[in-house]
Structure 1
Amino acid sequence: MIDARGLTLSLGPSGTATPILRGIDLSVGPGESVALLGPSGSGKSSLMAVLAGLERPSGGSVLVAGLDVARLSEDALAVARRGRIGIVLQAFHLLPTMTALENVAVPLELAGEPDAFARAERELAVVGLGHRLTHYPAQLSGGEQQRVAIARALVSEPALLFADEPTGNLDAATGTQIMNLIFERQRSAGATLFLITHDARLAARCGRVVELADGRIVADRRQA
């Protein structure tokens, strides 16, 4: 599902660019759940952004869900991701002029699904927002916006889900409920989960833990 070889990323002007990722080799198979750990500045979010096709690598190769994310154009990548890859980022990236229902229905509409709004409504009900369907992002709390973003990522039943601190804006009880939902969906669909977290309890629920430091993988262990 993920195959990265010699992956590098540097940001900034040529000649003075700052290295962020320094030769990442990583393979993740279908159905695996992987927790990505590391201190702030270690490159966790940058690695996820490259793997999800949100950031172009500076070097190396990367195949994700059969996509050569380093070579596809932005438009081709957006089309190819539909239905295959779900992404939950710390910044919610909800469309401000659309309601919660419309935000969740968007990926289904783009994929030409005929029951987009019915499925979006069911997904919002599952994350506890069945009563907020017609509210715009500005009318929702940070935690509610996070749940809309999670519903949008899950509604297409993707084969690969990237999640960057998905419970960071949620209270403990809601966060547990949402993570139970994510792990349940991951298992039932045989999907791959790639999770950035600082929560040791969440990492312990994953089958594998990868640790980054200074842009390099320093540990990669499987868990019982």
Structure 2
Amino acid sequence: MPSAAGQVNILRGIDLDIAKEEAVGLVGPSGSGKTSLLMVLAGLERATSGSVMLDGREITALNEDSLAKLRRDRIGIVFQAFHLIPTMTALENVAIPLELAAVRNANVRARAALDAVGLSHRLTHLPGQLSGGEQQRVALARAFAPEPALLLADEPTGNLDHATGETVIDLLFALRRRTGTTLLLITHDRELATRCDRQVHLSDGQVSDGQVEPAVPA
């Protein structure tokens, strides 16, 4: 990847295929390149070589406008930080990507998405009036409302206590099953990764030898 200090080789020789509707847990130590890989897959960072395919479409060479449209229409992202707009209500935060995509029933779909995460009673609340768990549930609703083909989740429970994090993860997997969305879940929690169909271990910017494995049944 390019940087102010010159080219930095964070990811090296990554070869990863994720099947449609598959849930993959990406695990590895801090600094191994997990978030960088997510950023490349989302088109938020550009790799200096290689290619990224989504639904058979090469996205590596797309310009910024095309990448933004791709994210709007095909990719949902949930980060550790909630990234909600503080001056907008929960309903408005969820409706924004739908309105940008010119979805006519944006508010109806946003309401349904918030209902799906148990927040139908918080529609008019601002982020500052919500707990951390509620804010992340709004972020989940916002990510799933456009019905993305791919959901990228980067340590989605990192800012939450254990019990609240369990609730959010249960919701994430329930929504994924309901929508058939392909999931790439970045986590440092090996136990959480076992809830995915498959685990991929990243070390020093590479998939570790012998470390692509199916999840252990619960």
TM value normalised by structure 2: 0.89
What one-letter code is carried by the residue in structure 2 that aligns with 1:36?
L
Structure 2 unaligned residues grouped into runs of 5+: none
% identity of equivalent residues: 59
Matching residue within 70, 80, 84 for 1:80: 70
- 1:192 equivalent in structure 2: 182
User: For residues 173-204 of structure 1, what are the alpha-carbon distances to aligned partners after superposition, in whole Å with 9 as ceiling and x for unaligned?
Assistant: 33223222222232233321100012222211
Residue 45 (structure 1) aligned with residue 35 (structure 2): yes
Q: Secondary structure of the residue that 1:18 maps to in structure 2?
A: coil
Whether the 8 Å contact between 1:37 and 1:212 is mirrored in structure 2 is yes
Whether the 8 Å contact between 1:65 and 1:160 is mirrored in structure 2 is no
Paired residue total? 214
- 1:21 equivalent in structure 2: 11
Question: Over the residues paired in the alignment, what is the CA RMSD in angstroms?
Answer: 1.9
- 1:137 equivalent in structure 2: 127
Larger strand percent: 1
Residue 150 (structure 1) aligned with residue 145 (structure 2): no
What one-letter code is carried by the residue in structure 2 that aligns with 1:209?
Q
Structure 1 unaligned residues grouped into runs of 5+: 1-8
> What pairs with 1:1-224 in structure 2 (closer than 5 Å)?
9-14=1-6, 17-218=7-208, 219-223=211-215
Whether the 8 Å contact between 2:136 and 2:168 is mirrored in structure 1 is no
Structure with greater contact order relative to length (CA < 8 Å, sep ≥ 6): 2
What one-letter code is carried by the residue in structure 2 that aligns with 1:221?
E
TM value normalised by structure 1: 0.87
Whether the 8 Å contact between 1:31 and 1:192 is mirrored in structure 2 is yes
Q: Secondary structure of the residue that 1:205 maps to in structure 2?
A: coil
Whether the 8 Å contact between 1:146 and 1:169 is mirrored in structure 2 is no
Q: Secondary structure of the residue that 1:22 maps to in structure 2?
A: coil
